[in-house]
Structure 1
């Protein structure tokens, strides 16, 4: 059964109940759309909303302060999804001590029945035996094609490859998303998701035509109704256009693309003045400060607000389901145009 939803009757196209790709089949989802794990924001309610809309989301394990908080979030998400599978994000820090809690969080997730994981940062070398024993599905996110190939050789089930446009930490690679993906497809045989700067359904159609199996989005969903953030923050995001972000900390080898707010400009000024260690930036780059001041209190000129230029496609504070429906419509319209062009030849 197809639903017909369109904002342009001339390009009206049926939206299939399922879009078969290697990743939708692997994850058991209806639509090739992943909501990447967003620190402090990817909670049970937001992830469940994405799952109910037909995609996949990942609760960020690092966002929960205690193991018990994490366990409760998993149980809440399971209830909100009605038992549908959902994922967990395990981001591995370059600071070894910063990963001490990750094995325990992985065990808790497995105990609670989670079998879908997004890993990011360092390769999940030490966690792979646990994943394999549990027959879990692992999608590793990376920025370089060579890292994607290494992850494939390690035995992950799929990879996400992000380009320089990604909000948050796009890594040191300076290739844009679609160029990155085109190179990767010559070297990968496992499913590939593309992320970075994607916020419109036309880009989903383009990624699928390129050969990707799904897309990963984040920025366009930050002002969603279900996102756990202050309304003043969400209104600031809706008002931000494609030129409203900036990349900082590249000189430290830790590029961070964020909203171009007062806090980010202070960080940029310190970097321009020669600051070359994280300690020199102090509280300006503190995640806890961002959570408390921007996300909770709505002080959107404070904190490092991870964001990519696709934020310009965020149109309103609206439910996840409405955003997904619009993306589906845009994707199908673009696909119909392409099919019509082929048919005319």
Structure 2
């Protein structure tokens, strides 16, 4: 439908990237994205054991039926003792994965080994400044996310509309824009602003292929764009998440003891989030969620979501044609 540098880069039909989602971006999710004509990523951090990640990559390859998919590798902002990033990249290379989505810290130290393995690197950043740096070190594509994004939108919290234009004017490698995007109209708008494609995560959380409790998905269907909040700003690691009892407690701790990592760790632990996804208890954990949750209006197969986005994009294009 829309031929851009993103569709050419990945070999997909539609310039949409289904980003990695902690605990939820499994082979079922990434392969469903691939079969629907978009790009999907498994999240490596969801599989701490190397054997489990290897098995998931192989399962995705079978489920994708020859279509493209990649692995998301989220790195901590600073290198810490026991970091397994190199080992994860080696495993990905051994399995012949063609695309990697990185975020967190500068991927430059790992680029030679990834290039040697024939892997293309897509780096996700929260500002155009970071995008310029990523481009300068040689990544193949950049994803720039705005303040509306779920997960970690950075400290500056610059809106997606502003980010889009700034990035398009300065970035020469293929450019993907994310943050609050969940419709075909927004896809067309992003392309008009100069992007080559869009990033979606929250929109796909209600896909049947996402392995999460039905009560969690029902909560998202009911959610409004105002049902997210920001936490962890005192740690300089801002997180946009579903507003719940846990985020209320985090904000109280940050107010009373800003930057106290020891006090916050029990509340921001990824294990709590995983438990919420498994049990459907929405009071647990800081659950990453973007403002585009308003568009996640029913549970259905991922292919059906993509088909609706395509139809929305076509209607948007027709409106533009009518203005000419």
TM range (shorter): over 0.9
From 237, 246, 264, the counterpart of 1:254 = 237
Once the two structures are superposed, residues 37-78 of structure 1 have per-residue CA deviations (whole angstroms, 9 ceiling, x without a partner) of 111110000111011000001111111020000000001000
CA 1:172/1:99 → structure 2, altered by over 3 Å: closer, same or farther? farther
Asked if residue 270 in structure 1 is aligned to residue 253 in structure 2, the reply is yes
Q: Is 1:305 the counterpart of 2:287 in the alignment?
A: yes
The answer to whether the 8 Å contact 2:232/2:254 transfers is: yes
8 A Cα contact 1:249 1:255, kept in partner: yes
The reply to whether residue 115 of structure 1 matches residue 102 of structure 2 is no
Partner of 1:320: 302
| CA RMSD between the two structures | 1.1
Which residue does the alignment assign to 2:223?
240
Q: C-alpha deviations, 1:67-105, integer Å up to 9, x for none?
A: 000000001000101122211101110242277211111
Aligned-residue offset at 1:282: 3.0
* Structure 2 gap ranges (5+): none
- 1:227 matched to 2:176? The reply is no
Q: Which residue of 2 aligns with 1:138?
A: 121
Match of 1:4 in 2: none
Mapping for residues 197-216 of structure 1, pairs under 5 Å: 197-216=180-199
1-structure distance, mates of 2:167, 2:81:
30
Equivalent residue for 1:84? 67
Q: 2-side partners of 1:313 and 1:232: how far apart?
A: 18
Write out per-residue CA displacement over residues 290-311 of structure 1, whole angstroms, 9 at most, x where no aligned residue. 102x111111111111001100
Cα distance change of structure 1 residues 36 and 98 upon mapping to structure 2, 3 Å threshold: farther
Q: How far apart, in 1, do the equivalents of 2:81 and 2:187 lie? A: 34
CA distance in 1, matches of 2:82, 2:56: 20
Q: 1:313 to 1:324 in 2, by over 3 A?
A: same
Matched, 1:67 2:56: no
Runs of 5+ unmatched residues, structure 1? 1-15
Larger Rg: 1
The equivalent residue for 1:334 is: 316
Q: Secondary structure at the match of 2:122?
A: strand
Match of 2:8 in 1: 25
Indicate whether 1:285 and 2:268 are aligned: yes
For each residue in 1:97-139, what CA deviation from the matched residue of structure 2 results, as whole angstroms up to 9, or x when unmatched? 2772111111111111101111111110211111111121111
Q: After the TM superposition, list the runs of 4 or more consecutive aligned residues in structure 1 that deviate by more than 4 angstroms.
A: none
SS for the counterpart of 1:186 is: helix
CA displacement at 1:267 relative to structure 2: 0.8
Q: How many residues align?
A: 324
Alignment partner of 1:124 out of 103, 107, 110: 107
Q: Is the 8 A contact 2:78 2:105 kept in 1?
A: no
Determine the structure 2 residue equivalent to 1:168.
151
Partner of 2:80, secondary structure, is helix
Q: Tell me the distance in 2 between the aligned counterparts of 1:53 and 1:23.
A: 15
Whole-angstrom CA distance in 1 between matches of 2:264 and 2:125: 26
Change (3 A) 1:135 1:99: farther
Distance 1:85 1:36 in 2: 13
Match of 2:167 among 174, 177, 184: 184
Provide the rounded CA distance (Å) in 2 between the counterparts of 1:70 and 1:277: 33
Deviation per CA, 1:178-229: give whole Å up to 9, x if none: 2011111121111100000111111111001111101001111112111011
CA distance in 2, matches of 1:182, 1:311: 24
1:106 matched to 2:85? The reply is: no
Would you say 1:193 and 2:176 are equivalent positions?
yes
1: CA distance, partners of 2:101 / 2:156: 20
Distance 1:80 1:235 in 2: 26
